[in-house]
Amino acid sequence: MSLFAQYRIAVLVPCYNEAATVASVVAQFQAALPGASVYVYDNNSTDRTAELARSAGAEVRRESRQGKGIVVRRMFSDIDADIYVLVDGDATYDALSARDMIARLVQDRLDMVVAARVEVEATAYRAGHRLGNLLLTTLVASVFGRTFTDMLSGYRVFTRRFVKSIPLLARGFEIETELTVHALELGLPVAEIATPYYARPTGSASKLNTWRDGLRILWTIAGLQRSERPLLFFTSVGGLLLVPAILLAVSIFTAYEREGVFPGLPAATLTIALTFLAVLSVTCGLVLTTVTRGRREAKLLAYLQQMAPGAREELRVRSLNVTGQGGERDLALVPEIRASSQEA
């Protein structure tokens, strides 16, 4: 049995007005991953995206709420598989690379493999997008200590336990940032594989706005820093408040020593207020750090409740070794056993 025949593989293709490319994307992944199920989620396309995807052999579903993040969240919720391949429907990614990504995922027991884009054509990656990707990657690394070289890649492979443990909140193109942060936050085993990246075919237009979506992603990172590293975030805010408080206090005491007269109530009141807010900010950081730890533990428990790729097959073999022909029967009881243990 081949590596790819052992698992239920789902190829997830979120699309918005990709009539020029969606049929070729479906055909390429069907050829690269025989037996995989290809799902195209149409996000209010005004062209023939859904029709052409269905004709190419994909299962087409519709998501009426606009936004890539919303579509991916719906995909992760709806579809049950062992391995998930998430790819854009613009024909810029290499379908054959999915085989290497899945093999790496299974053999190294990883939870996510990201396709690091390598330009095949000079026009494939716009300069603004490249600069934005570098900036965002650097910012995430400063918060979480490590990151990927291509944090905003839209081509990724996941395990079921990754997909079913991430509470996605992003609505738009900041979804890639959230996927990356989930892996870094929980310390999940991940990897990158260099893959070819092609220019969009004629007739296909990018939906990504460099400045608008870049600012949105920056805002997402700021929010993630506040929620994932609250002590660092609120201590920084407290420090910014404390600096003017100290400067005001120094000026007040300097004026008092020089002139022997208290300079006035407003300056003293402002100094006290800024100092109080700085202390309050640090206190909030300490409290929210405890909250964040509890939330992270809950996400980790949700992650650990899912089987890794290959675990089911290993369990089946062990059951056969122990119980003979009763192995499959015992394996079928695993969900019930797990549910009973959780209730207990």
Residues 70 and 83 in one domain: yes
Amino acid at 322: V
Adjacency order of strands within the sheet including 112-119: 59-62, 37-42, 9-15, 83-86, 156-159, 112-119, 190-197
- DSSP, collapsed to helix, strand or coil, labels residue 136 as helix
Residues 239 and 320 in one domain: no
Residues 285 and 162 in one domain: no
Does 36 or 316 have the greater pLDDT score?
A: 36
pTM: 0.76
Domain extent at residue 263:
230-304
CATH number (domain holding residue 153): 3.90.550.10
Amino acid at 241: L
118: Cβ contacts below 8 Å, ≥ 6 apart: 194, 195, 196, 197
**In the prediction, which pLDDT does 210 show?**
61
For 12-21, 36-45, 64-73, 116-125, which range has the lowest pLDDT when averaged over its residues?
116-125
Residues 38 and 129 in one domain: yes
Residues 19 and 151 in one domain: yes
CA distance 7 to 9: 6
Residue pair 77/184 in contact (Cβ under 8 Å)? The answer is no
Beta strands in the chain (DSSP E): 9-15, 37-42, 59-62, 83-86, 112-119, 156-159, 190-197
Residues 166 and 272 in one domain: no
Please check the confidence at residue 214 and state whether its pLDDT lies above 70. Answer: no
Does 48 or 339 have the greater pLDDT score?
A: 48
pLDDT band for position 317 (50/70/90)? Answer: low
Does 131 or 148 have the greater pLDDT score?
A: 148
Tell me the average pLDDT across 33-40.
95
DSSP state of 309: T
**In the prediction, which pLDDT does 107 show?**
92
- DSSP, collapsed to helix, strand or coil, labels residue 248 as helix
Torsions phi, psi of 177, nearest 5? -60, -45
Residues 141 and 190 in one domain: yes
Residues 243 and 158 in one domain: no
Residues 106 and 198 in one domain: yes
At which of 225, 248, 266 does a domain end?
225
Average pLDDT, the chain: 83
Rounded to the nearest 5 percent, the helix, strand and coil shares of the chain are 60, 10, 30
DSSP state of 149: S
CA distance 95 to 315: 31
**In the prediction, which pLDDT does 196 show?**
93
At which of 162, 195, 225 does a domain end?
225
Residues 69 and 179 in one domain: yes
Q: Please, how many CA atoms are within 13 Å of residue 184, restricted to the half-sphere of its CB?
A: 22
pLDDT tens across 231-282, in order? 988 999 999 999 999 998 888 888 878 887 777 778 888 999 999 999 999 9
Residues 12 and 78 in one domain: yes
pLDDT tens across 87-98, in order? 999 999 999 999
Torsions phi, psi of 306, nearest 5? -95, 145
Please check the confidence at residue 326 and state whether its pLDDT lies above 60. Answer: no
pLDDT band for position 305 (50/70/90)? Answer: confident
At which of 225, 244, 264 does a domain end?
225
For 16-30, 82-96, 307-321, which range has the lowest pLDDT when averaged over its residues?
307-321
Residues 298 and 339 in one domain: no
**In the prediction, which pLDDT does 337 show?**
41
Tally of domains within the chain:
3
